[in-house]
């Protein structure tokens, strides 16, 4: 259908799953040192995060963003709520999964989906979040 | 939360809706000249399309891809099945919407979601498709 490399649907590689698990864990890691280490594990050095209300470039901004979210919503937990759906096309790996944010035990407050690209080492090059559920202000 | 420009959620601009409508129409346009014109309207010159089974770079490859899909599945229609969800972060516009593909009157055969980035002129810079429903081979 084109002269580009065509990749068949692939199972999620363990490295991809490990990256996404590490990424989700950074949202919930309130120890500053462990959070920075998790960010270094999950993200490429020039990784970018974008959603409708926040934008961060690189590990230091991502770390500050997560710290600010944790300070604003203490006790909230980010949970992945779907399988990790992933495919490779023309050498690039694309990933999506849904998530919820809210108190550990209670109903979610915010829900959305993250759409990600990964670099050749399986680290996040970009995360773009979209919101499916958000309390009205 | 970061030192980047933060954009509040925005309503979908008419130009964004027009681009997505033009894009969807190209999937269903079997007249070669009109399809090429629609692609020129919807896509940036270096636009890229990626999904689990196809990849195309630029208008000529995208046109060939759509022609091949139409030849393989005559009578199938691509329909947008969600609102256009869009936000701007750090100067980039991100868009998502769900779609179905199948006979005009019958149930859908394939369903999925497209994640898109648009350039400053509101044209598609990238489309990455994920599949939510696909017949087993």
Task: Give per-residue pLDDT as tens, A49-75.
Answer: 999 999 999 999 999 999 999 999 999
CB-CB neighbors (< 8 A) of A85 in chain B? 130
- pTM for this prediction: 0.90
Min distance B68 CA to chain A CA atoms (Å): 6
| Burial status of residue A41 (CB atoms within 10 A of its CB: 0-12, 13-18, 19 or more) | middle
Q: What token pair was written down for A89? A: 């096309």
CB-CB neighbors (< 8 A) of A115 in chain B? 96, 115, 128
ipTM of the predicted structure? 0.88
Q: How confident is the model at residue B137 (pLDDT cuts 50, 70, 90)?
A: low
Residue A1 pLDDT more than 70?
no
> Could you report the per-residue pLDDT of A80-89, keeping only the tens digit for each?
999 999 999 9
3-state helix, strand, coil in chain A (%, to 5): 30, 40, 30
- The answer to whether residues B99 and B79 touch, using CB atoms and an 8 Å cutoff, is yes
Return the CATH number of B14-133, one of 3.20.20.70, 3.40.50.2300, 3.10.450.50, 3.40.50.1000: 3.10.450.50
Residue B78 pLDDT more than 80?
yes
Q: Would you call B103 an interface residue with chain A, using a CB distance cutoff of 8 Å?
A: no
Task: Count how many residues are written for chain B.
Answer: 137
Tell me if B54 and A6 make a contact (CB, 8 A cut-off).
Answer: yes
Residue B18 pLDDT more than 50?
yes
Cα–chain-centroid distance for residue B40? 13
Tally DSSP H helices, then E strands, for chain A: 3, 7
Residue from B37, B40, B58 nearest B123 by CA: B40
């Amino acid at each position: 259908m084109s002269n580009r490399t065509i990749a068949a649907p692939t199972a999620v590689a363990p490295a991809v799953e490990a990256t996404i698990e590490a990424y989700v864990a950074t949202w919930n890691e309130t120890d500053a040192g462990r959070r920075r280490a998790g960010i270094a594990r999950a993200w490429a050095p020039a990784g970018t995060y974008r959603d409708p209300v926040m934008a961060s470039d690189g590990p230091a901004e991502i770390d500050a963003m997560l710290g600010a979210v944790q300070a604003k919503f203490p006790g909230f937990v980010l949970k992945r709520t779907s399988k990790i759906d992933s495919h490779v096309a023309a050498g690039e790996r694309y990933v999506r999964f849904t998530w919820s944010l809210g108190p550990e035990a209670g109903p979610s407050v915010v829900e959305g989906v993250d759409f990600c690209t990964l670099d050749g080492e399986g680290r996040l090059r970009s995360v773009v979040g979209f919101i499916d559920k958000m309390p009205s202000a």
